[in-house]
Amino acid sequence: MSSFFSALLQWLSGLFFSKTAEIAIVGLQASGKTSFVNVLGTGQWSEDVVPTISFNLRKVKKGNVTLKIWDVAGQPKYRSLWERYCNGVDALVFVVDSADKEKFETARFELHQLLSQSSLLGVPLLVLGNKNDIDGHASVNELIKALQLDKITNRPVSCYSCSMKSQHNLDIVLQWLAARSH
């Protein structure tokens, strides 16, 4: 009976009290990080996006969940900033252009470099293989292998194939992010 009441209380509090998740989005330049935040915020795809300088902070409200999102620039000169913006977040999102296989090795290096920071120990990781609307894109299994995601053992890791352009799989991505809220 007590578990029934605690489940009921949890359900009611979900209805009336808002929850927040703080998320940092990183990844190489042109992988689609800002496009992702734009699609989440507006529900609309737009080609009209410029390379990020340093970072953008955006708040996106979905139901009773507010996502506070650090959209960090991916060009090489900004990558040393990633750890600073990832510090203290509820989840890390690493976006990869799954159609640009030549960049996988650099993406793998930068991802593992970031995760080796002791300040980020245990923070859940979501890897998004973006641009799956493009022919020849890598599958989830190919991404797991190329980015050596199976070697990450010190945190929960998920990987989805998606497209900001066609909005494919964004519903499960949003569910994953909302589940990090508290």
Ligand X SMILES: Nc1nc2c(ncn2[C@@H]2O[C@H](COP(=O)(O)OP(=O)(O)OP(=O)(O)O)[C@@H](O)[C@H]2O)c(=O)[nH]1
Annotated binding site for Mg(2+): 34, 52
Indicate which of ligand X, Mg ion, none lies near residue 181 (CB less than 5 to 8 Å, by partner kind).
none
**In angstroms, rounded to a whole number, what is the distance separating the alpha carbons of residues 108 and 123?**
18
**In angstroms, rounded to a whole number, what is the distance separating the alpha carbons of residues 170 and 160?**
9
User: Is position 132 an interface residue for Mg ion (rule: CB under 5 A)?
Assistant: no
User: Is position 52 an interface residue for Mg ion (rule: CB under 5 A)?
Assistant: yes
Closer residue to ligand X, CB minimum distance, 49 or 81: 49
Dihedral angle, C-alpha 84, 170, 122, 51, nearest 10 °: -20
Of residues 126, 49, 51, 50, the one with CA closest to residue 86: 126
Stretch that binds Mg ion, among 8-16, 38-46, 50-58, 127-135 (CB under 5 A): 50-58
One DSSP character per residue, 139-154 reads PHHHHHHHTTGGG--S
Closer residue to ligand X, CB minimum distance, 79 or 180: 79
Closer residue to Mg ion, CB minimum distance, 39 or 144: 39
80 is written with which tokens?
């040393």
Minimum distance from residue 136 beta carbon to ligand X (Å): 12
38 is written with which tokens?
């734009």
Is 94 in contact with 125 (CB distance < 8 Å)? yes
Closer residue to ligand X, CB minimum distance, 55 or 146: 55
User: Is position 31 an interface residue for Mg ion (rule: CB under 5 A)?
Assistant: no
Minimum distance from residue 131 beta carbon to ligand X (Å): 4
User: Is position 38 an interface residue for Mg ion (rule: CB under 5 A)?
Assistant: no
Indicate which of Mg ion, ligand X, none lies near residue 129 (CB less than 5 to 8 Å, by partner kind).
none
**In angstroms, rounded to a whole number, what is the distance separating the alpha carbons of residues 173 and 132?**
14
